[in-house]
Structures are given as C-alpha cells and as structure tokens.
Chains A and B, each alone.
Chain A
C-alpha cells in the first residue's frame, strides 16, 4: 500500500497483515507514516495498492462505508464532539447500528469499563479532562461494536498512571469483546507489552515485523525505541 497527501508521498510501500482478534502495534518515529497508515485504512487519504479487511477489498471506499463494515477509528486528537454531551458522543458511535436494544446494553457496558464517563454522561464533552476524552474516544469506537479498532496514539498527553489504566482496559476489551486492534504508539515499551504482534515503520516502509516478544528482544528496536 502507498499513500500521499496531495503531491507529498508519505507511505512508500507498507505491507503487513493482522491476525483476527489480536492486537498489533505500529511503531516508528515521528513522521514515519503511522497515522497515515491508519487514515489510509479508513479511506481518509488517497491510496494505491490493496487493503483487505476479512478478505474484502476496502481501498477506495468511502470512510462512511468502511465504518459500516465494523472498523472503528480512535483518531489522533481524539475527535471529540466538544459541544455535545458525553452520552451524545457515545450515541453517535452507534449511529450506523440499527439494533437499538443492543445499543442500550452496550452503553451500559461501556459505562462499566469507564465509570468516570457515566458520572459525566450529561456534561459537555469539551469540559472533560484529556484522559477522560481519550476514554470517551475509545468508548465511542466501542459503541460501533467493531470488529477492528484503530487506535492512534491512545497514550498521547496522558499521565503515566492514566496510560497504564487505559492500556489495561484495552487488553480487557480485546479479550472480552473479541475485537482486533491496531495500535499506533510512540510509547514503544507500553505498546509492546500490550500487543501480540508489532511492525516497525521507518519513512513510510515496514522495516521489521514479528511477535511483540521477539521485537522486544531485538537489539535495534531496543536501542532505537526502548532506549536501553
């Protein structure tokens, strides 16, 4: 897969596969093309090459239609609807679903994962703290009852304690809801602890991939991304 913003080539040949129901981490320095990879999967940038989801080609489809296949994106910057309430944000996550009773049940389930959101359900989302907004973004994605979640820097701007809490919940969600996850992270150590598999991207190319455990032992990865 290749992608570009206008005339600027960002991805020069990203090629990787994900296992169903597993967590894959995308690692790489700033500007390596991690975010662009996620945006390409969602049809938010123009791409060349093939992207397949469950055997079905999705490259070139509209974002709105890709969402309907069960791919939920937790975007860079969290994508909160700042002027709507927390609960309205969550209801929007389930916008494409028609099964109302299940949506009501999922709302309760999301509140069980993140009790803080329940406390703030009628509060304007713009007034939530950064950590709460990140929880809201993850919850909004969950409301889709997705098959695949794309998480763009879930740890960004959060206190280490909050990050640990969030990653623990992500792990729980992965096992309990049987959702596959593709996580982009700067925090490589945390990401490798969370993920089953990982790919390292450098300047728009996959340079290394394997199980998270193998990558943790790899000398180059350790020096460049783990810093010891």
Chain B
C-alpha cells in the first residue's frame, strides 16, 4: 500500500510536467488547429539556455525567470519568422515545418552542447520537505510550480483584456480583426506563452531525466497522450490528462508492465483514446445554431 501511494504521488509530480507541456500543445492547437511537434525540443533548447546561465554563475531563480523570458521571445520569434510564412500552406506542409524545427533544434543543441548527459540543478533542498516519506522535495516543488503556472495562465486568459483578445483571435480571426485585434500578434503571443510554459516544464523535468538533447522525446509523447485524454481543444482537460497520464505511467510501470515498457503506456493511451473517444474526455461539446 505504501509503495502504491509512493508511486501515485511520484506520478503526480511527473504528471504536472506532462500537464504543462500538454497545455503548451493545446494553446498552439487552439490558435492554429495544428499540433506542434517541436514543442518538446523548444522546451529542451530553452532548458539548455537555463543550464548555460547557471553555469555562468547566475543563481537559480534569476536564471529560471530569465530563461522563461528568453523562451517567450524565442516562441514569438519562431512564429514570426518560421510559422508565419506557411500560415496559409496546406496542413502537411506545416507539419513538415514543425518536424524540421524539431530536428534543427535537436541537432543545433547537440552541436553546441554535445550529446553528453549533464545534470541540471533543482532549486529545492535535497532533504524531503515537511518530513514526508513519499515525495522528494523536487517532486513536491515541481507540483507546486506547475500549479502556480497553471493558475497564472488561467487568470491571464480569464480576467485580462489581452487574454480575452487572444481567445477571440483563436476562435474567430475575422471578427477579431473587425473589433481591432491584431490577430497576427495574438498568434505570436500564443507561441511565446506556449514556449514559456514549455521551458518551465523542461527545467522541472531536467533534474529527473537529466539534460540531453533527446530528453523531451518521451515527455512529449506523454504530453500528447495527456492532451488527447483531456480533449485536444480543452486546456483544463489537458491539465487533468497530464496528471492522469503521469499516475498511470508510474503505477503501471512499477507494478504491471515494468519500467522498460513504460513509454508504451503513452502509445496505448493515444491509440485507445483515438479509437474509443476521439474528442477526449473533456472535449468541447459544440453548441452552435445552424
């Protein structure tokens, strides 16, 4: 029982990271109706930037926030320079661009930093917090940070005029222009936010999986599974999906199929959801008048 509880809690910790990345995927999906395959590599690349800053002697938290800021700018830049020109292109062309972006970021990182695995520091103490026996303080901290990020995003989209404009631009670009919203910039902003959220996920997962250019491959797969479980167009669903997938992965890995086959859990979930309930468990019921 104790072991099960431990696995569930550890699953929540990694689940939070999947939730963040799944949320980044959903944000881009809502605006463009495309899944950004390079989301994981963008997170990985920015995590390396964070590593460089810390190596250069910057304390953890300033480096953390600077990295999030850089990730935001990078996201905006990628949208403006790379995605914008293919905005009107057929879906497959855009998918190819995403995959190219994935490969470019992966190999550029390998070229700059080599493929040697590096350790990434955790900002949390090595002693377990609050004397609990179940979660390391990094796991607990990662859950906390994930929840803070999710809450900030929710508040931004729900309560600020800019957040409202971004939701409007994603839903109905033409009407948005007619009320004066600069739709192109809203998309770029969305990419920036998604990249920033991704960078937090990267920095939280790096102390667990270690830093290397391929570190996000598995994480992205779980994030896909999470986004699908929640319904690819539903941010709340993606978050719940992230935690569900994290727990399932851990519990099944520990007790049922063994650690070596853990990744297949993500694939089974993806196929399962697509077969049984393609809109996910929280997918939007569209209310429209014809």
Contacts and interface: CB of A to CB of B under 8 A. Distances in A.
Given A84-B167, A140-B179, A79 B289 contact: no
A95 B171 contact: no
B4 interface: no
Contacts of A203: none
A73 interface: yes
Interface in A115-148: 124, 126-127, 129-130, 133, 140, 144
What bracket does the count of chain B residues touching chain A fall in? 20 to 34
B1 interface: no
Most chain A Cβ neighbours within 10 Å, of B167, B171, B177, B182: B177
Interface in A74-94: 75, 79-84, 88, 91-93
B273 interface: no
B275 interface: no
A120 B182 CA distance: 28
A130 B178 contact: no
B260 to A, nearest CB: 43
A96 interface: yes
Nearest to B284: A83
A64 B185 CA distance: 12
Given A81-B168, A126-B287, A93 B175 contact: no
What's the dominant secondary structure at chain A's contact region? mixed
A16 B259 CA distance: 75
B216 to A, nearest CB: 31
Interface residues of A, number: 29
A67 B172 contact: no
Contacts of A44: 174, 177
Contacts of B57: none
Given A91-B161, A95-B161, 18 more contacts: A42-B178, A64-B181, A64-B183, A72-B178, A79-B175, A79-B178, A80-B172, A81-B171, A81-B172, A82-B171, A82-B172, A82-B288, A84-B164, A88-B164, A92-B164, A96-B179, A96-B180, A140-B179
Interface of A: 42, 44, 63-64, 67-68, 72-73, 75, 79-84, 88, 91-93, 95-96, 124, 126-127, 129-130, 133, 140, 144
Interface of B: 161, 164-165, 167-168, 171-172, 174-183, 284, 286-289
24 contacts: A42-B178, A63-B177, A64-B180, A73-B178, A75-B178, A79-B174, A80-B172, A80-B175, A81-B168, A81-B172, A83-B167, A83-B284, A84-B167, A84-B168, A88-B168, A91-B164, A92-B179, A95-B161, A95-B165, A95-B181, A96-B179, A126-B286, A140-B179, A144-B179
